[in-house]
Structure 1
Amino acid sequence: MRQLDVHNAFLNGHLSDTVFMKQPPGYEDPAHPDHVCHLQRSLYGLKQAPQAWFKRLHEFLITTGFLASKTDVSLFHYTDGDSRVFLLVYVDDIIMFGNDSALIDSLLQRLSSTFKIRDLGKPTFFLGIETLSEGGSFLLSQRRYMADVLSRAGMTDCKPLATPAAVTQPATPTLDLFDNPTQYRRIVGALQYLTITRPDLSFSVNRLCQFMHSPTQDHWGLLKRVLRYVKGTLDYGLRLSPSSSSAIHAFSDSDWAGCTIDRKSTSGYAVFLGSNLISWLSRKQRTVARSSSEAEYKGLADVAAEVTWVVSLLWELGLHTGQPATLWCDNLGATYLAANPVFHATTKHVEIDFHFVRDKVSSGKFVVNFVSTKDQLADIFTKPLPAPRFHTLRDKLNVDNIHPCA
């Protein structure tokens, strides 16, 4: 794995639009002071600059032999016999990895001949995420980012808590508005980025985001509880380990009418590739569900869409085994509904777009199985949980702490 940085990336883009600019101060043409510059290359500050840079990079990589992924536009892959190289782009930050170090060096040399590339070596700090190697596994950590969020909130020395959300709700919620809503929005927005490596925070952060428009003192209290949990788990991150299996299996769960304000349900899912968690979500459903089966079925539709995307990406990269993905649901009604083409009286009103789960099951691409509530890993994305249950599920999601040797 190699981390690359492109120096002055936006200046490499060629403009396809007609853009004029005033002569820069100190460089005016004395013979034609009223003339303007016709830009051929992009500059920082132009709205076309990011697109122009990516187009230039895309064209160069294609001529070099890379293939652009149709599933993820920021991913490119290169194949030479048994050698595979993948290149992932985020603006001017690039990660290149593969199974042939000589081929990587050769491709890096071609990149350096056209762009001013800085080779940062093995990735250690990429987009605020640390990559810590421990044996044969990686731990993706944002401990520096977490410390910065706590500092901005003035809670560096706060007392830690075991869970990010309380199981009990206040008997009489206050309607007093929080006196600094901008600070609330700023910190909650920062916590959203933290969920990239901390799936255990997804439910709590999603709930906080629902009150951005008008936070109250109670919402500020909920936010401080999440920060106190973050304080006690600064050394935690998402672990990725070698897996003997490359099968896809996903857990889907819903908390029926869990929101006391509008009675909408909260859905959550966790998608695993082998033993590694690769995708997760906690989100309130758009419509009110009339039954728990309907709420769970809507959750199945969400995870089915995500798994379809994951399968498409793996097929494109030649990494899919061809085995059907397994979806686990703890509601028998939703499980039967996914396999039974008969519309029951309680499901006639369900929107048609949710029924594409049936098409996937009937075509053999998905298998929907029942799992007991005790073994439902997505339970952590739908509701507050007691500390023992929360810690058990957190461990099963591969959220681990940094070992002392690291």
Structure 2
Amino acid sequence: MKKQGYIQGQADCTLFTKFSHDGKVVVLIVYVDDIVLTGDDTVEMARVKEKLAVDFEIKDLGFMRYFLGMEIARSKNGIVVSQQKYIIDLLKETGMSGCRPADTPMDPNAKLWGEGNVSVDTGRYQRLVGKLIYLSHTRPDIAFSVSVVSRFMHSPFEEHLEAVYRILRYLKGNPGKGLFFKKTSEKNVSIFTDADWAGSVTDRRSTSGYCTYVWGNLVTWKSKKQGVVARSSAVGRV
């Protein structure tokens, strides 16, 4: 790909991009034996596919509809990325297909400690939380709650597992929800951030989070426990 004039990503070595003189771009990413190719330079996309077909045995599957557990749907208004099948399979695996849905991914009054009365299977807990972490790629609405339950991966108790089940019950309510990338004339970037104040009952540390919108579309988000104890909730401005 480098010989074809593509630039290899520094954070992800499987990502390659190429910009043309007229401002068009082509993006190519490789995952094992699958390749995703996108961009607005149709001429370059056709050329690189022909070049790859000469060097490798490939098959063009057309527009992407399903990739790594993610479902992609297109319309004239934009693109929707969801993980509905992944969620339904997870509910079947955990025996929660018939559970009653929850309105929120976490009880707002719940305070999880690092200890409990009854311990649970660590391996099973880690597998469940790991799958929820992967679901966070298209479900930013569970990012905070998944961040909380992931703190107890090494020594989970029954209270922590109940919090995981609460997230699954919330997902049961709307398994088809996902990300919508709309066509828009907006050209701005917006960033929102917030933090709870000493939310951890164990060490009094806060959990902060942020989300970034580019041209009106959500592109990045994160929820993470702070590394130090905050002495104030005031936000400085530079």
1:321-340 aligned at under 5 Å gives the runs: 334=235, 337-339=236-238
**For 1:285-343, what per-residue CA distance to the aligned partner results, in whole angstroms no more than 9, with x for missing partners?**
011111112xxxxxxxxxxxxxxxxxxxxxxxxxxxxxxxxxxxxxxxx2xx332xxxx
**For 1:322-381, what per-residue CA distance to the aligned partner results, in whole angstroms no more than 9, with x for missing partners?**
xxxxxxxxxxxx2xx332xxxxxxxxxxxxxxxxxxxxxxxxxxxxxxxxxxxxxxxxxx
- In structure 1, the partner of 2:14 is 74
- Alignment pair present for 1:175 and 2:116: yes
TM-score, normalization by structure 2:
0.92
Aligned partner of residue 208 in structure 2, secondary structure? strand
Amino acid at match of 1:192: I
1:325-364 aligned at under 5 Å gives the runs: 334=235, 337-339=236-238
Pairwise CA distance, 1:94 = 1.5
Pairwise CA distance, 1:182 = 1.8
Pairwise CA distance, 1:81 = 4.0
- In structure 2, the partner of 1:154 is 95
Write the distance in 1 (CA, Å) between the matches of 2:36 and 2:15.
10
Amino acid at match of 1:338: R
Amino acid at match of 2:36: I
Q: Any stretches of 5+ residues in structure 1 without a counterpart?
A: 1-60, 294-333, 340-406
TM-score, normalization by structure 1:
0.55
**For 1:46-71, what per-residue CA distance to the aligned partner results, in whole angstroms no more than 9, with x for missing partners?**
xxxxxxxxxxxxxxx12122233446
- Alignment pair present for 1:205 and 2:146: yes
- In structure 2, the partner of 1:62 is 2
1:378-397 aligned at under 5 Å gives the runs: none
1:176-325 aligned at under 5 Å gives the runs: 176-293=117-234
* Cα distance change on mapping 1:104 and 1:218 into 2, 3 Å: same
Identity %: 38
- In structure 2, the partner of 1:16 is none
**RMSD over equivalenced CA pairs, Å:** 2.1
Contact 1:86 1:97 (C-alpha < 8 Å) held by counterparts: yes
Write the distance in 2 (CA, Å) between the matches of 1:120 and 1:221.
42
* Cα distance change on mapping 1:134 and 1:291 into 2, 3 Å: same
Amino acid at match of 2:7: L
**For 1:23-54, what per-residue CA distance to the aligned partner results, in whole angstroms no more than 9, with x for missing partners?**
xxxxxxxxxxxxxxxxxxxxxxxxxxxxxxxx
Aligned partner of residue 95 in structure 1, secondary structure? strand
Identify, as 1 or 2, the structure richer in helix: 1
1:12-31 aligned at under 5 Å gives the runs: none
Q: Any stretches of 5+ residues in structure 2 without a counterpart?
A: none
Write the distance in 2 (CA, Å) between the matches of 1:174 and 1:79.
53
Contact 1:243 1:274 (C-alpha < 8 Å) held by counterparts: yes
Pairwise CA distance, 1:229 = 0.4
Pairwise CA distance, 1:220 = 1.3
Q: Across the two proteins, how many residue pairs are aligned to each other?
A: 237
Aligned partner of residue 166 in structure 2, secondary structure? helix
Amino acid at match of 1:148: D
Aligned partner of residue 264 in structure 1, secondary structure? coil
- In structure 2, the partner of 1:88 is 29
Contact 1:177 1:214 (C-alpha < 8 Å) held by counterparts: no
Write the distance in 2 (CA, Å) between the matches of 1:213 and 1:171.
15
Contact 1:173 1:218 (C-alpha < 8 Å) held by counterparts: no
Pairwise CA distance, 1:80 = 4.0
Pairwise CA distance, 1:277 = 0.6
